[in-house]
Structure 1
Amino acid sequence: MDNEPTLWRFALGLWRDKNVERVCLRLQDDYGVPVATLLVALWLARGGRRPDAALGRRLSGHTERFEERYLRPLRAVRRRAAEDGAAELKRQIQEAELEGERLLLEQLAGLARTQPGEGTETALGWLLLVVPEVAQCEGLQALLEELAALSESRAASG
């Protein structure tokens, strides 16, 4: 993973694809899947890291705690400010939310560095590992498959 972009740079590059953004936000809003969990899974797959259940649980657990304590409250206040027409407040909260997401991804990258091994792994393998609820929901699996395909097509083209 030494020659790869940082997780944050990878996430920013991937987020430029409006289809990736759309699928990630649907997974977040419709199924409660944190975007950071999706991004770190795609980053690990891109780096050829073999899926590891224990690491997947640590990444998911850390993300869930961080989201619950910091990001969801910020997101709720940002949405409330938008509904109330408080554009400047919304913008400032959005900046804080983005900085929180950057810090979370930095922490996840640190946890992920413990995963050894190179190989050729698919994005879907990691996504299914970090989103275990997929077994109970066909719609969730379809979105994860779409996200994996988008990520892999971006990797192939650039």
Structure 2
Amino acid sequence: MKEAPLWRFALRLWRDKRIERVCLRLQDEHGVPVAVLLTALWLSDAGRRPDPALGRRLLAYAEQFEADYLRPLRAVRRRAADGQGTVELKRQIQEAELEGERLLLEQLSRQAQAQPGGQSVSALSWLFVVVPEAGQCESLQAGLEELSALSESLAVSE
């Protein structure tokens, strides 16, 4: 199976531990699906102009997918991590969780249908589109600003 460009993009970003840390903090502290953050960065990188309607659809889809599949897996994985003799179980759950993330990104990619826009688009503008409540929460806004700066510095360095 050929990997979707969004999946490759997400894997490349995820290698940077700073980006991983910020994404996980936004997920754990504010309930923002990591897949939506990575999709927003991908759309920005593709030069696609921010689209609030698309942002709402992406967020709604990701939140439902997370609630139905990923959060339950994550909870079981965390319980398995605390148990004795559950190392193999935790590994298998992690693999299922990763496959769920890949499937979610594949669906988001299809919905977004990102085509190169040929223009420079701020990562922060897309992040604010998919997380509109950021303007009402200082720590959420700061996290999105940090993620934007990290992703843009990573793009420049490559």
Note the C-alpha offset of 1:94. Answer: 0.4
Residue 74 of structure 1 is matched in structure 2 by 73
Residue 148 of structure 2 is matched in structure 1 by 148
Partner Cα separation in structure 2 for residue 117 and residue 46 of structure 1? 9
Q: Does 1:107 align with 2:107?
A: yes
Q: Which runs of 5+ in 1 are unaligned?
A: none
Q: Does 1:46 align with 2:45?
A: yes
Deviations 1:78-121, CA, capped at 9 Å, x for gaps:
00110113111110000000000000000000001067844211
Matched pairs, number: 154
Helix, strand or coil: the match of 1:40? helix
Normalised by the length of structure 1, the TM-score is: 0.94
Normalised by the length of structure 2, the TM-score is: 0.94
- Which runs of structure 2 are paired with 1:24-103 in the superposition (5 Å)? 24-85=23-84, 86-103=86-103
Helix, strand or coil: the match of 1:49? coil
Helix, strand or coil: the match of 1:51? coil
Deviations 1:45-100, CA, capped at 9 Å, x for gaps:
00000000010011001101100100000000000110113111110000000000
Retained in 1: the 8 A contact 2:62–2:104? yes
Retained in 2: the 8 A contact 1:55–1:115? no
Q: Which runs of 5+ in 2 are unaligned?
A: none
Retained in 1: the 8 A contact 2:19–2:150? yes
Retained in 1: the 8 A contact 2:46–2:114? no
Q: Superposition RMSD on alpha carbons, in Å?
A: 1.3
Retained in 2: the 8 A contact 1:45–1:126? yes
**Are residues 82 and 26 of structure 1, via their aligned partners in 2, closer, same or farther at CA, if it must alter by over 3 Å?**
same
Helix, strand or coil: the match of 1:125? helix
Partner Cα separation in structure 1 for residue 115 and residue 8 of structure 2? 19
Retained in 2: the 8 A contact 1:50–1:118? no
